[in-house]
Structure 1
Amino acid sequence: MPSLVVVGTQWGDEGKGKVVDLLTEFADVVVRYQGGDNAGHTVIAGDDKIVLHLLPSGVLRPNCRCLLGQGMVVRPGRLLEEIDALAARGTSLDPARLTISARAHVVLPLHLAADEAEERRRGERGIGTTRRGIGPCYEDKAARRGVRFADLADPDRLRALVEDATACRAPLLERQGVAVPDPAETCRDLAAAWARLAPFVGDVSRAVHDELERGRHVLFEGAQGTLLDIDQGTYPFVTSSTTVAAGACAGAGVPPGAIDGVLGVCKAYTTRVGNGPFPTEADDETARKLREAGGEFGATTGRPRRCGWFDAAAVRRAVRVNGLASLALTKLDVLQVLGPEIRVCVGYEVDGAVEPEIPLDRLDRARPVYETVKGISEPLRDVRSPDDLPASARRYLALVEKWVGVPVSLLSVGARRAETLVFDNPFRLRRRGASGRHAAVARGPRSAGRG
């Protein structure tokens, strides 16, 4: 299987960075296809903790090519900071390893200011954005007044675009008491960034096509999660891009037939950052235990994450809309802090009937239906073989697989690369529906012993 999309199945922060970093051992190319520096992918390399916001997680593998697709929105200064930070630790990037789509949109200082102004305008009804300018940048893209990387090569066109965008945004900023960035200063800063980034800018769609034609293994790295998708998520408390697997086609410029499989990533519990519905949110004490044991603080904002029980009904929906063949389940080791019992949401009761998927448009009158399983008391971080998993962990995995409808192919029991159990290599798994039905999935040896 030469191509695989990796997507989050919850509200982001599922551990995609670690999973992608692990899978880059089998990949030649990694492509980011949506989002911007509102995403934070954490990778543990040796004793170093590295948080990437824009660069693909494959950047730490010296033989892996990294591409930023046209569906992304990129702040040039932040991208240069990441490149320089990696260079300082001995990981250098050149145009042979990194390509930025000429069609990717540029996040301007104006967009950060507009993000702040809009959150102020909403007041208590605020979305709880990261204030990184992501939404306003996508707004300008849809309104056809955005700035793309290709525009940075033409100073006159760039100036006209920045001045037009500023004229459109200035009234709201002034009403909300937010300073309006100077267009001339913005253009000067972008010119300086362009002087360094120009060699990296090219046709990512063509690059992906050529790599696939050569038979290279291509990994498409999603940001955020399915429940934050602009169309499939808990609208309006969502991000502004297509986070589901279908977004890889538009965001990287490849046809649907180029995607051979989709892997979903989810935590063994659920978290959410910011405002919006969270039906399985735990009580304060349980949430505190999960937050402290799991290090649940935003990689981008540092905000404490809201924590709750695993929502199999939500992940089941993600399985369907993404066409998942399997799951990578992360942070199973964290569940040790929960004591003798663990709850899993297996459906929702709405108007007297139980539904197997999260009812996104009726959450105001939906009640989670829980199944309880015995807690995990044994330590897991030293487990290196599926055969060594304790019975309590096997029971939990069996419950998850039963209710989400697909197998777990990767299991993370710690932050490091070595603390991962591989049941099935996702690059060998066919996507669901590949032959008009759910494709068969080869199972690892752990299946027979599952409790």
Structure 2
Amino acid sequence: MPAIVVVGMQWGDEAKGKIVDVLSRHMDVCVRYNGGPNAGHKVVFDEQTHVHHVIPAGIHNPGTLCLVCDGLVIDPKELSVEIDGLRKRGVRLDNLHISQSAHVIMPWHKMVERAEETKLAEGKIGTTLRGIGPCYADKARRWSAVRMGDLVNLDVLRTKVPPILQHYNAMLACVYGAEPLELDAVLAECETYAKELAPYIGDTQALLQDAVDAGKRTVFEGSQGTMLDLDQGTFPFVSSSHPIAGGACLGTGVGPRDINEVIGVVKAYTSRVGEGPFPTELHGDAASNLREKGREYGSTTGRPRRVGWLDAPCLSFAARVNSVSAITLQSVDVLSDFPTVKICRAYRINGREYTRLPSDRSLLNQAEPVFEEFEGWTGDITGAKSMADLPASLHSYVATVEKVVSAPVAIVSVGPGRDQTILTDAGKKLLPFLSV
């Protein structure tokens, strides 16, 4: 049975949540492997929209085991709110398990990140201010890290927190001029959420390895996107984890030979949130029109996303880095009624043309996109049920994207809903269980 990684091919916000939800209805296990509450995976069905920050998008399928694995960082308060919201909507959570090895975002992480971003001013990274980066930094520092297993072991927690808090209080006061945190208040807050979360926390590695050994269908849900990967993305304007397909192994304990397929999720245009290079970015009315039509506002922060045309050098790079088996092409309905659509086929930098993403990512700040124009498509395609229902110009666009990534398009998405998902001939071969 297949083990499939679903990975974002751009700067996140590609609609990975929808694809994971669609796949999870036919899967035994759904696994989150990286990131934290900076994710905002949207699932739409039965006229309801659900936004997932940490809990896997497969949670809406009661028969799917949902695992939040080692590679995540978790804010106990925000996770408790997310769990409570799902309960109120009648979602069962007895299939949810959280790794005892996932790291905890503590109150000082958010305070330090906010202070750092303020101090950096125009040089800021543009983070979600949720403490993600500082928490991952403590994971690498080791002695100052708190894990979910520590959170629910109050004796361990009371031993670990005081020296870490002393370190951070000194930093907050001396470097940033901020008020210190009170030890008793921090411990009391931790104990409150520890009681709420304890029933879900355990050994997810064992659960996942047993499922893989038993041949269970498994989908690995990446958050953010390839261009935000800590090593492969547009550093330093990246996330602090590994969204790429390889991150599924790092963040779960599953070996690479246990992965069968990698599905790359591509939006029909490009968007990103936060600072950093964006060669195909649109500005002015063109950007506003695309942003409004695509409802391009962050699911987590509400910030307006920067938008632009599709970027072939980025996509071909992402396809190689992730070894994609196939891709899904999302939000093609958003581009309806544009007279022409564009794909950046190369960059012009200092008089030289680049068809590959330069290893020196800072060069992207000087990149002038070299565009190829395509005939647009018109009319409302949100009700299309098969590829035959789509206009010829859109078929041409799909074929061009396939050439860019050197992989077939398996799914074309014509809207946010589950039922707005078209399986191509290639998709029927790769994902036959979806056509049943």
Conserved? CA contact 2:152–2:195, under 8 Å? no
Aligned-partner residue type, residue 374 of structure 1: E
| Aligned pairs, number | 430
Please state how far the C-alpha of 1:424 moved relative to its aligned partner. Answer: 5.2
Alpha-carbon distance, 1:352 to partner: 4.4
Q: What RMSD in Å do the two structures reach over aligned CA positions?
A: 1.9
User: Do residues 121 (structure 1) and 122 (structure 2) align?
Assistant: no
Q: Distance in 1 between matches of 2:254 and 2:381?
A: 40
Partner of 2:96: 98
| 1:381-427 deviation line (CA, Å, top 9, x unaligned) | 11111111111211111121122221110111111111110115769
Deviation track 1:21-64 (CA, whole Å, cap 9, x = no partner) reads: 11112211100011000000011121111111010000111111
In the alignment, the residues of structure 1 paired with residue 180 and residue 208 of structure 2 have an alpha-carbon distance, to the nearest angstrom, of: 39
TM-score w.r.t. the length of structure 2 is: 0.95
The within-5 A match list for 1:191-340 is 191-337=191-337, 339-340=338-339
CA shift, 1:154, in A, is 3.0
C-alpha distance in structure 2 between counterparts of 1:357 and 1:380, whole Å: 33
Which residue identity is paired with 1:128?
G
Q: Residue 369 of structure 2: SS of its match in structure 1?
A: strand
C-alpha contact (below 8 Å) 1:116/1:178 kept by paired residues: no
State the partner residue of 1:45: 45
2:341 is matched with which residue? 342
Q: Return the letter of the residue paired with 1:127.
A: I
Contact 1:73 1:138 in 2 (8 A): yes
Greater CA drift, 37-46 or 391-400: 391-400
CA–CA separation in structure 1 for the residues paired with 2:307 and 2:377: 18
Q: Which amino acid aligns with 1:167?
A: Q
Partner of residue 134, structure 1: 132
Q: Which structure 2 segments of 5+ residues have no match?
A: none
CA distance in 1: counterparts of 2:181 and 2:312, whole angstroms: 45
For the pair 1:111 / 2:113, whether they are aligned, the reply is no
Q: 1:120 to 1:401 in 2, by over 3 A?
A: same
Residue 421 (structure 2) aligns with? 420
Contact 2:58 2:66 in 1 (8 A): yes
Distance 1:129 1:424 in 2: 40
8 Å Cα contact 1:378/1:390 also seen in 2: no
For the Cα contact (< 8 Å) 1:27–1:217, is it kept in 2?
A: yes
Residue 165 of structure 1 deviates from its aligned partner by: 2.3
Residue 162, structure 1, aligned to residue 126, structure 2? no
Matched, 1:390 2:388: no
Contact 2:11-2:225 within 8 A present in 1 as well: yes
Match of 1:372, SS state, is strand
Q: What is the CA-CA distance between 1:360 and the residue it aligns to?
A: 4.7
Q: 1:161: Cα distance to partner?
A: 2.3
Quickly say closer, same or farther: Cα 1:295–1:387, change in 2 above 3 A.
Answer: same
> Is residue 162–residue 183 contact of structure 2 (8 Å, CA) maintained in 1?
yes
SS in 1 for 2:251: helix
Structure 1 residue 309: Cα displacement:
0.4
* CA contact 2:385–2:421 (8 Å) conserved in 1: yes
Write the deviation string for residues 77-117 of structure 1: whole angstroms up to 9, x where unpaired: 211111111111111212xx111111000111111111111
Letter in 2 for 1:82: E
Unaligned runs of 5+ in 1: 431-441, 446-451
Asked if the contact 1:410–1:420 (Cα under 8 Å) also holds between the matched residues in 2, the reply is: yes
Runs (4+) off by over 4 Å: 424-428
Q: Which amino acid aligns with 2:124?
A: G
* Contact 2:13 2:224 (8 Å CA) reproduced: yes
Taking the aligned partners of 1:252 and 1:429, their CA distance within structure 2 comes to 24
CA shift, 1:428, in A, is: 5.9
State TM-score, norm by structure 1. Answer: 0.92
SS in structure 2 at match of 1:51: strand
8 Å Cα contact 2:409-2:427 kept in structure 1: no
1:3–1:427: structure 2 CA closer, same or farther, 3 Å change rule? farther
SS in 2 for 1:171: helix
Opposite residue 369 of structure 1, the aligned amino acid is: V
Cα-to-partner distance string for 1:165-217 (whole Å, 9 max, x where unaligned): 22222234224243333232122121122222222111111111101122110
Task: Give me the whole-angstrom Cα distance separating, in 1, the residues matched to 2:112 and 2:425.
Answer: 45
